[in-house]
Chain A
Amino acid sequence: MCSSSRRYQDILAPRKTECSNFMWASRQLNPQVAFKQAKKPSPQYHKDEVVKCPKIQELLITLSEKEQVTKEVLEGRVRNILDEIGYNKKLKVVRWLAVVLTKICNRICSGIYLNEDAILQLKSQMGTCPVIFVPSHRSYADFILMSFMCFTEDVAIPAIAAGMDFHGMWGMGTVLRDTGAFFMRRSYNDDHLYWTTFKQYVYQLVTKGDLPLEFFIEGTRSRTNKSLTPKYGLILMILRAFFLSQVPDVLFVPINISYDRILEEKLFAFELLGIPKPKESTSGFFKSLSIVKEKFGSIYFDVAEPISAKKFFGPDLDRTLHNLQPIHMQEITDYEKKLIPSLAHEIVYKQQKHCIITTFNLLAIVLHNNLTSGRNLLSVDEIIDEILGLKKVIEKFGAYVFMDDPRKCVLEALEVHNNFVRVNEEGKVTLVWDEIVVGKVNVSKLKAHELSEKTITFSVPFMLLQIYINPTLHYFVDLAVLVLIVKHQRAQSQDELFANYHFLRSLLSQEFVTFNTREKMEFTSALAHAVDLNLLSRNQELYDLGENKQLEEIIYNCIDCFIFTYFVVCSVILELSRVIEEKTILAKVQEEIEIKINEGKGFIHPYSLSLDTITNCLNALAGQNVLTKSRKSGSVTYEINDTKVLFIKNRLEQYVTPAQVLQEKFESVQLHLKNKL
């Protein structure tokens, strides 16, 4: 995608200039629907149809014989389930919410940017088949902002698949439901009647609904601000209708929502360390409204081109398999299930490619590099220079950097993030450590190891910083892996390089979401870029490090801490028993890393403590059958194959930064810390 062709309009701007938002919010609506139906379906109609459908009816007959209850009782149960699930649509609520939201946004946001051309194009394609909005999920605000965007753009507000945690919020659950949310139980359970009803409800919305659907393919908010591995459950439920030819096609619209500053950033930083989030409660929500005093910069929507399921699967999909037997008895075949991951990953890939890189993302990289590489801290002017250099590099990879006037943007970014990045008395940009208040931590709710307050206070600013570096990493990761390999080994041929790349990249496949079919392509492209940027140089058949030491350092520093955590995970599990609970591993790894941090022997990046990284590592190992993952009554356990883990650990060890380098880094960070304190 050509970055220069992207254009964004601030959809909040008209709201800021009009004297009252009421006229706008109460205007006559003529929203574009996704799949025009002969008669406009009501929320109640969908529920009734689900109860009446042969699949549910036949299940009720079987259950009533099995459980010796009348069918009417069971039907009542289904209706209760449907009342818990089903969306509602109250235009009045939507309009009021629009007014309130506008007020809030006007106060805390400088703009909500959207590539409006894409929406116009999309609207012209809507009307003839189900349309599924698949936004990235970085914040609770995604829900409401998506609906706000649709309301502004005259697109029918989607029916949104939401987790039950919202349902529990008094008042908010109802408001969300009234604006189109439907609820899905998250906890792992095997209530057959519930899931059959839920699946049928989704099927009903897809085949007979006229609204777009919206769901978060990552399953949950990403705490790290980088993509999560897609989940396949809901997308499969949606595609069922297409596999059974009950709809002409399904259009998936990947959407990236990027934030200058994520509302929940602090919460996430704590969560990544294992200090749990409070349960969603309405009072919590209102507390979060106290953010109204702060500034959050801009929010960016990038709507990608829709992916047609029909075109995507092409002739690989033989829908005639479902021609015999009634539709409601059809089961999705294993082959069809196998087709899902490629589509799900394509959607996530498109979300990534459509992300917006903000000034602060680049600033974070530069600052992080200065802090951890023993460089001098930079003044605003100096940092602008470095940011512009980095901007050029990242744009080469197709990234879009939202920046017009660099100075203005940097100053704005500093203002928005002045909770943890500031200009100190000497006029240098640096991290703020002394404002982190840990508060009371309920030890029983900790997810892993009980970190000391000192560690937490030291770590949180780094965690926050990393959260803003992370969105850029999918542009750099392939390059970084190549640099890492050559730096720690020696000059090598393309084949050797690929073998090593394959090892590291598959290990990091959960960390930086990728799908194996693209591996070779991405390797080739990264290698070309590396040579082009003079990160690597090619001497006859061998690739060696190039001259661009500055970029090498930046890129290397980007993934260093991940490799370290992966190495520690492998070392730790080798010392544990063969079958072990996930929680134990998490705690043990964190404990190990905390010790290393406090040993004072070298700089250990606090992001290495991230539970997300540890879990990603475990999942990647499980994906390679190094560990065997099993889930029993809610808790996850791993069975460990020692030989395989040892092999990986040894191979990883060559890529871990040597102690001497760590020592140098340690001193530099200490210096910065002291300066600040």
Chain B
Amino acid sequence: MEARKPVLNQKNEAVIRVKSAVPKNRQDLLKWNGWGYRDSKFIFDSAANEVRFTGQRYPIGDLRLPHLMGWVKENFDVDFSKPKKAQEVPPEEKFPKPQISPENLARITNLDISYSLKGLDRLIRAHGQTLHDIYTLRTSFFERIPDIVVWPTCHSDVVKLVRLADESDMVVIPFGGGTAVSGAVECPTGESRTIISLDTSQMNRILWIDRENLVACCESGIIGQDLERELRKLGFTSGHEPDSYEFSSLGGWVATRASGMKKNLYGNIEDLLVHVKMVTPKGVLEKNCQVPRLSCGPDFNHVIMGSEGSLGVITEVVIKVRPLPKCHRFGSIVFPDFEAGLACMREVARQRCQPSSIRLMDNGQFKFGMILKPESSYLGLILDGLKKFYVTKIKGFNVDTMCVMTLLFEGEEADVKAQEKKIYSIGLQFGGMPAGQTNGERGYMLTFVIAYIRDLALEYEIVAESFETSVPWDRALVLCKNVKEVIAQECRSQGIKYYMINCRVTQTYDAGCVIYFYLGFNHRDVENPVTVHEILETKARDEIIACGGSISHHHGVGKLRRRWYAGTVSQVGVDLYLATKKELDPKNIFATNNLIKAKL
């Protein structure tokens, strides 16, 4: 099928060819066995006996973090003298040979699409960012990795590839930004067919921008930071900022039903998406119009969104864009305890006056944020001391129960002011106290930095992971408490002495909210930390679901949460999904085994 020609916009602007921040050879810039940029990481400086964050990419870069060590020692009983170094990049001969027949390789070569059979290229596309993935990279090897990596550069390349794979019975696993935390891009271990990793990163143009309707058509491989940078140049923003947005791709967002930090103002991916193309073995699934909404039977956009690479390859997406807001301001409110903070969140949602972002960190996360404070000047220390004195002694807050709400306001100056006034007055009703812009800003900055800390933790026998859920308002508090208790109980029974479980509320809706948990433990006393972690996370998810929470709010199901899929959607739902799968991909070339194990 011939791809429909992209319509040029009124100004006849040329297609924007985006020079991505991340090169085609990812490992040149990014860690091959950890999170993010190679130059950015937490390191332990044994000479200074201190932890630092390297590089200048983030605001805490190259600053001393004097509070961190003590906290880590106290909470995790870490021995900094004994780091466990990760294994080096395996030499080429150590990688399994690609399982691909010369005929098939010739066919791919004939397509004139860039490809690689190199071991490392294949390895770094064999995984996402789950604890299991990273731990495996550091200590052992995956059972199965792709046999070949291909880099299509446009929709029609993908059409050709999918057709070829279908004809020659090869498996295609789409790969975007590699930030999945659901096991979605992992190769199914029993797969004997050739596995093609379809890397969308070179398919990252902004094909056109429609200023009248405020939409942009992008290829699916474009990553968040590139998209934002290019749109900002033109005075727009997509407003979609998941925590992974530096590296994750537009196609990945659609395939997992992503959610961004600023969804209150801009919406989740399902609100942003206006049109989408998905290449399947049966052809291209798309609509014939670019309309804001339509009443036309079940919406097949929702078959594409959340398909997790199992039904086809998402190639082009038309998404909404917004003019860049003039004013952009952070804020924060401290509450005496989590209950009060949550009640305030609920009230804000009831009044539907959420600013661009509103989050609530529990006491554990609040303290964790504090220990990541860089060393401040002498005056800064005094000021901090005074603030603490005021909050704890005059306002009577308990350091061991208080928590903080972070806020991000966006819009016209006057609107932001009005919003601030409203939020702070609601905060006051629940015993909250404004705690300044800096605390708010730090909270959001830490979101990006916190992903890096796991790599350091792994060196010192601490494994850590996050998981999330959505839950109706009336069950939110109990869910948080119960999950923490389940983790505590299970750690006890596993013989884990040092662990951390804390949470934050990251999104609010009319009918509920989103809870994000961080879990970490010192695994010195357990045999297999990844298995034990899986047990803990499984118990936690069982409890989440028993408490009325969901299988996932935005991380997706993948392989990690498959066991709860049928329970979530009913058996009829499973059969409906399987029927769809059978229709679109009868040979199961998209054999990701995400959502359910598809034996077709």
Contacts and interface: CB of A to CB of B under 8 A. Distances in A.
Interface residues of A, number: 14
B567 A246 contact: no
Contacts of A38: 337-339, 401
Interface stretch (B21-29, B459-467, B545-553): B545-553
A247 interface: yes
Nearest to A207: B478
Contact of B482 (A248, A320, A322, A327): A248
B478 A320 contact: no
For the residues of B in contact with A, the DSSP-based class is helix
Secondary structure at chain A's binding surface: helix, strand, loop or mixed? Answer: loop
Interface in A212-249: 245-249
A129 B474 contact: no
Nearest to A317: B546
A326 interface: yes
A323 interface: yes
Given A38-B337, A128-B488, A245 B546 contact: yes
Contact of B548 (A128, A245, A247, A249): A245
Contacts of A320: 545-546, 548, 567
B485 A249 contact: yes
Given A38-B339, A320-B567, A323-B548, A245 B482 contact: yes
Contacts of A40: none
Nearest to B567: A320
A320 B337 CA distance: 29
Interface in B183-207: none
A83 B474 CA distance: 28
A636 B220 CA distance: 76
Given A38-B337, A326-B474, A327-B475, A248 B545 contact: no
Contacts of B338: 38
B481 interface: yes
Contact of B486 (A248, A323, A327): A248
B425 interface: no
Nearest to A37: B339
A319 interface: yes
B489 interface: yes
B346 to A, nearest CB: 14
Nearest to A54: B474
Most buried by A among B485, B488, B543, B546: B546
A327 B546 CA distance: 12
Contacts of B475: 245, 327
B362 to A, nearest CB: 12
A127 B568 CA distance: 33
A316 to B, nearest CB: 13
A38 B486 CA distance: 18
A247 B337 contact: no
Contacts of B401: 38
A129 B543 CA distance: 14
Interface in B222-273: none
A327 B567 CA distance: 20
Please indicate which of the listed interface residues B401, B478, B488 has the most CB atoms of chain A within 10 Å of its own CB.
B478
A322 B478 contact: no
A468 to B, nearest CB: 41
Given A128-B488, A320-B567, A322-B548, A247 B474 contact: no
Contact of B478 (A128, A246, A323): A246
B277 to A, nearest CB: 36
Contacts of A327: 474-475
Interface string A343-360: 000000000000000000
Contacts of B478: 245-247
Nearest to B481: A248
Nearest to B492: A125
Contacts of A248: 481-482, 485-486, 489, 543
Contacts of A246: 478
Interface string B471-492: 0001100100110011011000
Contacts of B543: 245, 248
Across the A-B interface, give the 6 residue pairs with the lowest CB-CB distance, nearest first. Answer: A248-B485, A319-B546, A248-B482, A245-B547, A323-B548, A245-B546
30 contacts: A38-B337, A38-B339, A38-B401, A128-B485, A128-B488, A129-B485, A245-B475, A245-B482, A245-B543, A245-B546, A245-B547, A246-B478, A247-B478, A247-B482, A248-B481, A248-B482, A248-B485, A248-B486, A248-B489, A248-B543, A249-B485, A249-B489, A319-B547, A320-B546, A320-B548, A322-B548, A323-B545, A323-B548, A327-B474, A327-B475
Interface of A: 38, 128-129, 245-249, 319-320, 322-323, 326-327
